Amino acid sequence: MAAPNLARAILAHAHTRGEQPCLRFHRAGGWQTWSWRQVGEQARALARGMLALGLVPGQRVAILSENRPEWALADLGSLAAGCQVVSVFATLPDDEMAFIVRHAACRLAFVESPTLAARVLALRACLPALEQVVVLEGQPPAGEGVSSLTDLAARGAEEEPLPGLEATADEPAVVIYTSGTTGEPKGVVLTHRNILGTLEAVTAAFGDISSLRLNLSFLPLAHALERIAGHFLPLVQGNTIAYARSLDTVAEDFRAVRPDFAVAVPRVFEKVHARILTQVRGRPAPARALFRWAVGVGVERSSRLERGQPVPPSLAARYAVADLLVFRAIRARLGGRLRLFVSGGAPLAADIARFFHAAGILVCEGWGATETSAPSTWNTPAAYRFGSVGRPLPGVEVRLAGDGELQVRGVNVFPGYLDNPQANAEAFTPDGFWRSGDIGRVDEEGFYYITDRKKELIITAGGKNIAPQKLENLLRQRPLISHCLVHGDRRPYVVALLTVDRAALAAAHPELAEAPPEDERLHRLLEAEVAAVNRQLARFEQIKKFRVVPGEFTAQGGELSQSLKLKRRVVEERHRHLLEAMYGDRPE
């Protein structure tokens, strides 16, 4: 590692990059930019303000905020002060938010707004370590120990040395709490060596990434994937981050910012793909035929490139026409300059990845976890297999246990959970490999494939093993299905709960846009969607019955984690009556 710690690695660019853009954001009606010099000065001022408050190296501070430039300032300032940064999803309910801040013994909390500050202050009685609340934007509420970001920056003395610049590589840098799909979340401690070593491995695997100068950040920064790939990677490289205004404006922000790369989860690609198909279905027959022809040409070219085969001149000529007439417009929706999409967090369907590649956008899927500083394996522009999660990064060992579990050892693997000896004892093998809990396989070329979660495998009453994620991924690819849950453990057959993509339904069947879940016409449409999935499955895997759930599965509603993973137990418990009815155990 060129630098021993994150603060030194990142803040050095304040001198070398100077007035070059560091952070871009939309405010006061337009896009604004902070230079590297401005970011460096503000981060150092915040660090000195924290030291003036009495914080000492090794203590923890929390950031409770959506993505914004002040998030980066709070992060860099805390690291420069030698503090450990605890990232917290701002959308968590009060009890979960309080659990994390209390468990991590945070002395200071950066919060995005006066409203969130009021929520945190109301919880102060159960947060004994919390002494200071700093509002990132807006007028802070009155109260002792509450201030603005500007007030904090003004507290310090310019001559105050910054202990974070002298931190050693093995000191903890950040604590990221797992999303808690089951049970209480655990605090994953990542050291400077973990993060910087991971970034070095990524750079070595991807080769020259100098062209990836600007990324659009829209996944939550409390999520490990965005924190590592969408935050630390561009900052350590001395590049530029642009922050999307919200998830609702991401499509518009892509066109405005025109990023070189972005980080996303499979659900984002699924939704974009579904929207494109829905729009194409509404076009005249000649336009639909042109689209099908173009995709066929693009897939043929993509398959040859994936296998490392040359593209014949005739295919290259046909693709040039397809690109001019169809694919250029798709890329324009994403700004027109996107060179690379990174996908992680869950398996991405190979057909969707190939569709984007056909359109001229390579999606590099990887696999890992918070415990492995996000990536352990990754597809790269030089070596990729759609449907796989790539090969291990340089310096990272991945092996398959006897039961198919993937286990990892390397510079990226965390030293342990915060104050949780029982979880630490269960997390590692005797020879130091981290137990991922993911089931997978590896092909003869060394590419890994994730098939399911170890604890989520369905074993039917007939003894058949079924991976629910496989079925759920196929269901979510159907245009009218937005989310789903597959169920069948210790049952005679497999059933599913479905939510309807109302936008796609309204576009294809406007007369059913407001149809209730029990509508017979809606049921017949979804029956056809499920039948299309069943044709791709073995008989014992096929979905025998389904029910439509009103509304959507959301993080706000509690059905999804903050990183958009299905909370299986929550959904099953909430809709137990529908599941039981499909087995005839209880009347609906």
Q: How confident is the model at residue 586 (pLDDT cuts 50, 70, 90)?
A: very low
- Contact assessment for residue 64 and residue 148, using Cβ atoms and an 8 Å cutoff: no
d(CA 151, CA 134): 9
Domains of the chain: 6-167 (3.40.50.12780), 264-454 (3.40.50.12780), 457-582 (3.30.300.30)
pLDDT in tens, 64-104: 999 999 999 999 999 999 999 999 998 888 988 999 999 99
For tokens 């007030």, what's the residue? 151
pLDDT: which is higher, 456 or 546: 546
Q: Which residues contact 29 (CB under 8 A, 6 or more apart)?
A: none
Cα diameter, the chain: 74
**Residue 490 reports pLDDT greater than 90:** no
Cβ neighbours, 10 Å, residue 129: 14
d(CA 142, CA 231): 32
pTM comes to 0.84
pLDDT in tens, 11-26: 999 999 999 999 999 9
Burial track 401-438 (b if 16+ CB lie within 10 A, e otherwise): eeeebbbbbbbbbbebbbebeebeeebbeeeebbbbbb
Angle between helices 94-103 and 114-122 (to 10 degrees): 70
pLDDT in tens, 173-186: 999 998 644 467 89
d(CA 434, CA 189): 14
Q: How distant is the alpha carbon of residue 229 from its chain centre?
A: 10
Instruction: Give the DSSP H/E element, type plus range, for residue 136.
Output: none
pLDDT in tens, 378-399: 999 999 999 999 999 999 999 9
Share of the chain above pLDDT 70, in %: 98
CA angle 433-437-443, nearest 5°? 80
d(CA 234, CA 215): 8
Which of 415-424, 434-443, 477-486, 533-542 shows the lowest per-residue confidence on average (mean pLDDT)? 533-542
Q: How confident is the model at residue 566 (pLDDT cuts 50, 70, 90)?
A: confident
pLDDT in tens, 290-349: 999 999 999 999 999 999 999 999 999 999 999 999 999 999 999 999 988 999 887 888
For position 181, what pLDDT does the model report? 45
d(CA 35, CA 10): 13
Share of the chain above pLDDT 90, in %: 76
For position 538, what pLDDT does the model report? 79
Q: Which residues contact 409 (CB under 8 A, 6 or more apart)?
A: 396, 397, 431, 432, 433, 434
